Amino acid sequence: MLYAFTSSPKTLLTHFSTEKPTTDMAFSCVSCGLCAHVCPSDIDFGHIFSTSKKTYATDKSILKKYGYDGVRFHQKNSFSKHFSTTMKFSKGEYTHMAFMPGCALCSYSPKLVQDVFAHLRSILPGIGIIQQCCGTPTRMVGDMAQFGVYHAQLENDLASMGATTVVSACENCYMSIKTYAPHIEIVSLYSVLAQHGIPKEAMNAFGSHEKVALHDPCPTRFERHLHEDVRTLLKVLELPFEEFKYNREKTLCCGSGGMLELTNPALAKEQMKTRAEQTACGSIVSYCQSCAESMSRGGKNGLHLLDFIFNAKEIAHQPKQGVVKKWYNRYRSRKRIEALKDTP
């Protein structure tokens, strides 16, 4: 995203020595962490832009210009009783654990969330489930005061469940809890599946499938054990795959990071297309639902790793779904969770 505003990072840094980033620059940063990782001088442009966003966020008229009404609508509903819930179970060895699917997965497929959780209950008896947002959209636009309110609500909900360990299917949720709630143990769903196993019907089921490209989400670019666990799962599936040139800790943003679709829609669309076109494969698999959807918007067939593990007989393409359908899916997901019984 940096090169949308400059041909030389050095020139931009010189400019910042006398002036802070413009609002357009600050709100076009996806906070992916790549700049700092590859910069030979250890300059963290992401931190510069993030700090600027926090400063600008104190002026609600500036936030409004960059789509904050959409963020506020999303967050208010996400934390409401209509779209969030918790379910704790009393029997089993793992009552201290809670599965957190994340907003995007619940919006995509209530059935997939239910199938994943049913499998988790079979391998981790007693695990609970929380359908709740982690507050990342609010944090990404710099409103740290409101993020603190949302994060506190999430922690309170987890505490009410007695959950000290969270199993996350969402990379943003994973990093948010790891960063802002270090007293809570965070574990990736994909690491759990790599360790405890996937449903038998999915094992070795995709040997004849067309080759897909694997896209690593940028929030967990430095979680090397997670990268390995995901690739282990692909091998268990026998799903032929290839790596992007820029992968793992050097992965590129899918275009939806940092709430870019609201703050700079044109740049988001351009990045989605750019990333999707970096592979000749027709299908791109990720372990982040937002990334999968971005790859579809970029012109390829975006799929989630969980589609292969739990929707093996059904999935060829993810259905296109509008905003209303996604919110309805989240409502349906909540209702399914609340209908669960204490024994699987």
User: Can you tell me the distance from the alpha carbon of 126 to that of 46, in angstroms, rounded to the nearest whole number?
Assistant: 40
Strands 283-286 vs 185-188: parallel, antiparallel or unpaired: unpaired
Kindly list the distances between the CA atom of residue 271 and the CA atoms of 121, 175, 246, 324, in Å, as whole numbers in the listed order.
38, 22, 14, 25
Q: String of b and e for 1-25 (b: at least 16 CB within 10 Å)?
A: bbeeeeeeeeebeeebeeeebebeb
State yes or no: pLDDT of 309 exceeds 70: yes
In a domain, 64, yes or no: no
| Same structural domain, 271 and 189 | no
pLDDT of the residue at 226: 98
User: Can you tell me the distance from the alpha carbon of 159 to that of 266, in angstroms, rounded to the nearest whole number?
Assistant: 41
In a domain, 206, yes or no: yes
pLDDT of the residue at 341: 86
In a domain, 344, yes or no: no
State yes or no: pLDDT of 312 exceeds 80: no
Q: Of the candidates 56, 74, 94, which is a domain's last residue?
A: 56
Domains in the chain, number: 3
**Per mean pLDDT, which range of 40-44, 184-188, 283-287 is the poorest?**
40-44
State yes or no: pLDDT of 184 exceeds 90: yes
pLDDT of the residue at 45: 82
pLDDT of the residue at 314: 64
Strands 97-100 vs 85-87: parallel, antiparallel or unpaired: unpaired
CB atoms within 10 A of CB 193: 26
pLDDT of the residue at 343: 66
Section 173-198 average pLDDT = 97
In a domain, 89, yes or no: yes
What domain range is 11 assigned to? 2-56
Quote the percentage of the chain above a pLDDT of 90: 82
User: What confidence tier does 39 reach under pLDDT thresholds 50, 70, 90?
Assistant: confident
User: What confidence tier does 295 reach under pLDDT thresholds 50, 70, 90?
Assistant: very high
Burial of 32 (0-12, 13-18, 19+ CB in 10 A): buried
| Same structural domain, 188 and 257 | no
In a domain, 62, yes or no: no
User: Can you tell me the distance from the alpha carbon of 312 to that of 216, in angstroms, rounded to the nearest whole number?
Assistant: 21
| Same structural domain, 101 and 143 | yes
- Which two three-digit tokens encode residue 203? 């094992």
User: What confidence tier does 16 reach under pLDDT thresholds 50, 70, 90?
Assistant: low
Phi, psi values for residue 167, rounded to 5°? -100, 110
Contacts of 189 (CB under 8 A, 6+ apart): 99, 116, 120, 167, 168, 169
| Same structural domain, 98 and 184 | yes
| Same structural domain, 205 and 133 | no
| Same structural domain, 93 and 193 | yes
In a domain, 65, yes or no: no
In a domain, 246, yes or no: yes
pLDDT one-digit tens code per residue, 158-178: 999 999 999 999 999 999 999
| Same structural domain, 164 and 185 | yes
User: What confidence tier does 49 reach under pLDDT thresholds 50, 70, 90?
Assistant: confident
Section 132-148 average pLDDT = 96
| Cβ–Cβ < 8 Å for 134, 140 | no
User: Can you tell me the distance from the alpha carbon of 243 to that of 166, in angstroms, rounded to the nearest whole number?
Assistant: 29
| Same structural domain, 100 and 188 | yes
State yes or no: pLDDT of 2 exceeds 70: no
What average pLDDT does the structure give for the chain? 92
User: Can you tell me the distance from the alpha carbon of 98 to that of 121, in angstroms, rounded to the nearest whole number?
Assistant: 10
Section 2-25 average pLDDT = 67
pLDDT of the residue at 328: 98
Q: Which residue has the higher pLDDT, 320 or 186?
A: 186
pLDDT of the residue at 96: 97
- Which two three-digit tokens encode residue 171? 């990379």
| Same structural domain, 93 and 192 | yes
User: What confidence tier does 35 reach under pLDDT thresholds 50, 70, 90?
Assistant: confident
CATH number, domain of 234, equals 3.40.50
User: Can you tell me the distance from the alpha carbon of 124 to that of 71, in angstroms, rounded to the nearest whole number?
Assistant: 35
| Same structural domain, 242 and 229 | yes
| Same structural domain, 210 and 282 | yes
CA proximity to 49, closest of 263, 235, 291, 269: 263
pLDDT of the residue at 95: 97
State yes or no: pLDDT of 332 exceeds 90: yes
| Same structural domain, 92 and 192 | yes
Q: Which residue has the higher pLDDT, 40 or 120?
A: 120
Section 219-227 average pLDDT = 96
In a domain, 180, yes or no: yes
- Which two three-digit tokens encode residue 102? 């994340």
Section 69-97 average pLDDT = 95
State yes or no: pLDDT of 88 exceeds 60: yes
